[in-house]
Amino acid sequence: MSDPCKILVFASGNGSNFQALIDAVSSGTIPNSKILRLIVNKSKAYATTRAEKAGIPWEYFNLISHGFRQKGETDPVKIQESRDKYDAALAEKVLKGDYKPDLVILAGWMYVFGKAFLDPLEAEGIKIINLHPALPGKYDGTNAIGRAYEDFKAGKLENNKTGIMVHYVIAQVDRGAPILVKEIECREGEELEQLEQRIHSHEHELIVEAAAKVAGEILDKKNKTQ
């Protein structure tokens, strides 16, 4: 069998999308792939427990705890400098030694990467993908479901539909080229929590399908160069 597609996952919380990826790699739904390790930026992220159960190495690396920014810092220049240094240090971690991946998947990673992280990975040809609970070009950034719901209630949501996408990561938040998109119709009388549950119920399927698609493309390219 040819070399596998080597995957690195970033997560910040429960890690249910990470678990979906573990299961899909194990079953072969994501073809000929291996999750090399998990990186988290929250010390109590349950994703680390999932990694341990699956025998996947993990590492905690945090902007404040690891000394890149002082807690409570308000100076915007220092904040940006700290982000740049943290991003550069993370890029160095990703690219060193045996852990260098072919594909990086952001699976509930609650931090926005800048060019100090993205550019070195792009130079090495490493793809980065992310799941965002909105349609392309809509509701970039945080609270995407809540903002779509408010627009629906106000009669301003286009076609009464929101959705989920998995996209390539670029410096502009949630504006990278979409890989897969799923539309989800908002329903009259539905509470925000119900809409959130419906959207989340489709996330695992979409992130697995997108990861399988991108991994397949990476493996095809590897096979052609061998």
Q: What residues are annotated to the active site?
A: 132
d(CA 52, CA 137) in angstroms, rounded, equals: 37
State the alpha helices, DSSP H only, in 163-191.
Answer: none
* Helices then strands, each counted (H, E), the chain: 6, 7
d(CA 185, CA 183) in angstroms, rounded, equals: 7
Rounded to 5 degrees, what are φ and ψ at 165? -140, 150
Backbone CA torsion sign across 179, 206, 140, 184: positive
d(CA 91, CA 120) in angstroms, rounded, equals: 7
- Overall residue count recorded for the chain in this entry: 226
DSSP 174: T
Contacts of 108 by beta carbon, 8 Å cutoff, 6+ apart: 11, 12, 13, 14, 15, 16, 17, 18, 47, 131
Q: What angle do CA 221, 225, 226 make, to 5 degrees?
A: 115
**Residue 50 one-letter amino acid:** R
Contact yes or no for 210/179 (Cβ under 8 A): yes
